[in-house]
């Protein structure tokens, strides 16, 4: 058995954010990813070093647009945001209190100050808008700092996470993938805020399972707010976080001297032989699917490793082939070159028929 610390080696643990935590829910069955994330290994750096760099760049135009839109909503004492929240949450006129938590410099101090203000607010004292509070969530045994765009407290004591995104809602419709990703991210904040309140002895149910998603409307900069139910996202997230806390059984199966330390020299250039790292990665099972390409920094490595599997062609391909795991086996069963195992009889018959049909039609 090894330990997360040993796996990571001398490098500082890679810190999570809401986006990376949200990504954890996309392929929960992958041990490789679970171990890497729990150990805080910098997957992006590792992937680049072994020759399979990830492609997760963000365009500066998108970043700028996001920042400008958020600044616009929060300008003039959150004037626009306040109007929207009055509309969707029915905030009464007197509730305009605004606390800027980003103005505190140090992370710990910000987290403390955020906890103080939010728990005080939960106790029925003042506070309505909390700008960039710093929350904490335990992920794989380590604390991760999280920074929601805004939290609003409604009259009557319900907290709402407000997520500001710059993708457009056009004629009442937005890109479903983007809405879903925003909802998962917001769910991470809901969870962190619930745990913060619970630790302070308050009812975690004070945090609504509905989040306020604010986006630009149509082709303008005019914002529009929508309530999004994140209950399902929350339960997926909680299950995955609990799973990450239980990676011991996976660690037990690993060799005690396994490590992904890149052994950088004094100038930070990794010296570890690539072959050792590749060998190490091979010791932890991955569950590659093409969807990983959009979600995991190691995806190109895993794809290369998964060549020749039917799963690498997509989940539906594997299913249509009756669950036969490899390309070669599927073709051998289809041609009759290999006799099927007992549990492959049905798949093999279907494959033989399919192969016969193709050759009949294409000859």
Cβ proximity to another protein: between 314 and 336 the closer is 314
| Identified binder of another protein from the candidate list 198, 200, 278, 327, rule CB under 8 A | 327
Cβ proximity to another protein: between 142 and 332 the closer is 332
Q: How many residues bind another protein (CB under 8 A)?
A: 85
Give dist(CA 287, CA 311) in Å, integer.
9
CA distances from 158 to 153, 208, 214, 218, 251 (A): 6, 6, 18, 30, 41
Stretch that binds another protein, among 31-39, 50-58, 180-188, 237-245 (CB under 8 A): 50-58
Contact 133, 115 (CB under 8 A): no
Least Cα distance to 159 among 203, 109, 223 occurs for 203
26 counts as binding another protein under rule CB under 8 A: no
Eight-class DSSP state of 167: S
Residues 119-138 that bind another protein (CB under 8 A): 126-127
Contact 20, 36 (CB under 8 A): no
Residues 199-258 that bind another protein (CB under 8 A): 216, 218-222
Least Cα distance to 287 among 28, 48, 112 occurs for 28
Cβ proximity to another protein: between 94 and 201 the closer is 94
Residues 330-359 that bind another protein (CB under 8 A): 330-331, 334, 350-351, 353-355, 357-358
Residues 144-203 that bind another protein (CB under 8 A): 166-168, 170-172
Eight-class DSSP state of 82: H
Shortest Å distance, C-beta 246 to another protein:
30
Shortest Å distance, C-beta 20 to another protein:
17
Count of C-beta atoms within a 10 Å radius of residue 56: 12
Residues 62-121 that bind another protein (CB under 8 A): 62-66, 71, 75-80, 82-83, 86, 93-94, 96-100, 102-106, 109
Shortest Å distance, C-beta 363 to another protein:
10
Count of C-beta atoms within a 10 Å radius of residue 263: 14
CA distances from 237 to 26, 93, 158, 187, 273 (A): 10, 35, 22, 8, 36
Least Cα distance to 167 among 183, 150, 151, 152 occurs for 183
Residues 265-324 that bind another protein (CB under 8 A): 268-269, 290-291, 293-294, 308, 310, 312-314, 316-317, 320-321
């Amino acid at each position: 058995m090894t330990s997360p610390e040993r796996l990571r080696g001398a490098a500082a643990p890679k810190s999570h954010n809401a986006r990376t935590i949200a990504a954890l829910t996309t392929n929960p069955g992958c041990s490789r990813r679970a171990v890497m994330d729990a150990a805080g290994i910098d997957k992006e750096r590792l992937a680049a070093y072994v020759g399979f760099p990830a492609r997760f760049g963000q365009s500066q135009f998108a970043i700028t647009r996001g920042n400008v839109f958020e600044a616009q909503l929060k300008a003039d004492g959150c004037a626009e945001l306040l109007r929207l929240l009055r509309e969707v949450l029915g905030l009464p006129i007197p509730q305009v209190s605004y606390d800027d938590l980003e103005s505190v410099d140090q992370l710990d101090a910000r987290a403390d100050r955020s906890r103080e203000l939010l728990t005080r607010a939960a106790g029925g004292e003042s506070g309505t808008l909390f700008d960039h509070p710093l929350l904490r969530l335990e992920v794989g045994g380590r604390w991760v700092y999280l920074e929601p765009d805004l939290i609003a407290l409604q009259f009557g004591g319900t907290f709402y996470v407000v997520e500001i995104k710059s993708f457009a809602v056009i004629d009442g419709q937005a890109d479903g993938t983007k809405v879903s990703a925003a909802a998962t991210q917001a769910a991470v904040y809901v969870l962190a805020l619930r745990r913060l309140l619970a630790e302070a002895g308050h009812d975690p149910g004070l945090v609504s399972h509905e989040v306020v998603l604010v986006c630009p409307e149509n082709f303008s900069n005019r914002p529009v707010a929508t309530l999004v139910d994140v209950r399902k996202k929350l339960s997926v997230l909680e299950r995955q976080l609990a799973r990450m806390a239980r990676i011991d059984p996976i660690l037990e199966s690993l060799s005690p001297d396994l490590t992904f330390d890149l052994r950088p020299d004094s100038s930070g250039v990794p010296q570890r032989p690539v072959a050792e790292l590749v060998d190490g990665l091979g010791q932890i099972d991955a569950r590659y699917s093409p969807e990983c390409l959009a979600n995991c920094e190691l995806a190109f490595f895993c794809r290369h490793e998964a060549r020749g599997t039917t799963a690498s062609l997509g989940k539906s391909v594997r299913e249509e082939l009756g669950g036969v795991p490899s390309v070669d086996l599927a073709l051998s069963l289809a041609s009759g070159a290999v006799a099927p195992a007992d549990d492959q009889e049905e798949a093999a018959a279907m494959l033989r028929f399919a192969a016969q049909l193709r050759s009949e039609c294409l000859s």
